[in-house]
Structure 1
Amino acid sequence: MPDLFPAPRFLAALLVAGVALHGSAHAQALSSPVPSSASNPKAAQPALPSGQGAGVHSPLSPFPPLPRREDVVAWSLLTDVTTKVEKKRIVPVYPAPVEALNQKTLRLQGYMMPLDPGENQRHFLLASVPLTCSFCTPGGPESMVEVRTRKPVKYVLEAVVVEGTFHVLKDDPYGLYYRITGAVGVD
């Protein structure tokens, strides 16, 4: 039976939709009038949204925040990313604390967004909020992490914790900001 939704194409479509929605806020910020002020150099640059991961910083979110755990990286850190336009593309600009996580073994807590059919998943997105619609993205690329596991992880609707090697991505072809490889599920 042919694979109707190959993971790379499905992932690309999903992320393009998310980046397009996420990028529209950036495009609006970039096209808005910029006040000029010789005394304040920051006023000369458009304000780009920062830390806007769905359900993380918004008090209007219908979702309760994930339970606080000291052994996981907080989404508020991962979503504290700005962007810039480079060669007609919106690219992430990571703060130093996020850059410091690159190639480190760490734990993340979030909700699974399967990329393949089946009960057990080896390749999925971990999102900061639970999914409300299988055809919607839960936020921009700063609020999702691509996960590749060593052993399959059972798909559940509740939050999961994974541990693996964290990668801060500079120019991912799918528009991803983060990836965890060699991951295992943690209880």
Structure 2
Amino acid sequence: MNSRRCFSIVAVLALTLALMQGMAGAQAQSPAIGQGPGYHDPRSPFKPLQEREGIVAWQLLSSVTTKAEKNRLVPTFPGSVQALDKQKVKVQGFMLPLEPGDKQRHFLLSSVPTSCSFCVPAGPEGLVEVRSKNPVRYTLEPVVVEGTMAVLSDDPYGMYYRVSDAQQQGN
């Protein structure tokens, strides 16, 4: 092997190691994506959601933990979250459309705004699947919906929460 090629391989390895160390350091300084209510990018033009009276807090929804069972992770919900099952609740969040068009009957609410059209901004503890009675117009601003909450421990799509028969509330 000639010395120029050997130097190139060493340089690439050194650069790769430096990048990996930088990524590990960044992960240690910021919350892990997919754990907790999600990561709100400080460069986002949207303000983080504020907890509001009468609206289920994302901090509560994200208090779920997981445990390994056989070949999958299973959510373990604290009693305060289990108590929301089959209850009428209000949830606020940023819309992630699941249908074409500007009016949505089936969408996700996220605890944080998305910063990429192809990225999910949070893990399942930072998302709520919504099925609404009436179409909700897509917006980049936070929306509030009221409906019946389902706390899901074995959803085939990996969701932890679903609100059915939802209606948009005034923000």
Q: Of residues 51, 55, 66 in structure 2, which corresponds to 1:72?
A: 55
Q: TM-score, length-normalised on structure 2?
A: 0.75
In the alignment, structure 2 segments of 5+ residues that lack a partner are: 1-32
The CA distance in 2 between the partners of 1:182 and 1:52, in whole Å, is 26
2:74 aligned with 1:91: yes
Q: Which residue is equivalent to 2:158?
A: 175
Greater than 2 Å deviation, 4+ residue runs:
none
- Look up the equivalent residue of 1:180 and give its one-letter code: V
Provide the aligned C-alpha RMSD in A. 1.7
Q: Which residue of 1 aligns with 2:10?
A: none
**SS of the residue aligned with 1:139?**
coil
Corresponding residue of 2:148: 165
1:147 aligns with 2:134: no
Query: What is the CA–CA distance in structure 2 between the aligned matches of 1:144 and 1:95, rounded to whole Å?
Result: 17
TM score, norm. by length of structure 1? 0.69
Cα contact 1:50–1:81 (8 A) shared by 2: no
Match of 2:119 in 1: 136
- 1:55 is displaced (CA, Å) by 3.2
Alignment deviations for residues 33-57 of structure 1 (CA, whole Å, 9 cap, x no partner): xxxxxxxxxxxxxxxx99622137x
SS at structure 2 position matched to 1:138: coil
Which residue does the alignment assign to 2:14? none
Identity %: 54
Aligned length: 135
1:170 counterpart SS class:
coil
The Cα of 1:134 is off from its aligned counterpart by 1.3
Residue matched to 1:23: none
Aligned residue for 1:142, secondary structure, equals: helix
Name stretches of at least 5 consecutive residues in structure 1 with no aligned partner.
Answer: 1-48
Give yes or no for contact 1:51–1:81 (8 Å, CA) kept in 2: no
Q: Secondary structure at the match of 1:77?
A: helix
Larger radius of gyration: 2
Distance between the aligned counterparts of 1:50 and 1:132, measured in 2? 15
- Residues 35 and 122, structure 2, Cα contact 8 Å, conserved in 1: no
Determine the structure 2 residue equivalent to 1:53: 37
Structure 1 residue 180, shift from structure 2 partner: 0.3
Secondary structure of 2:84 counterpart: coil
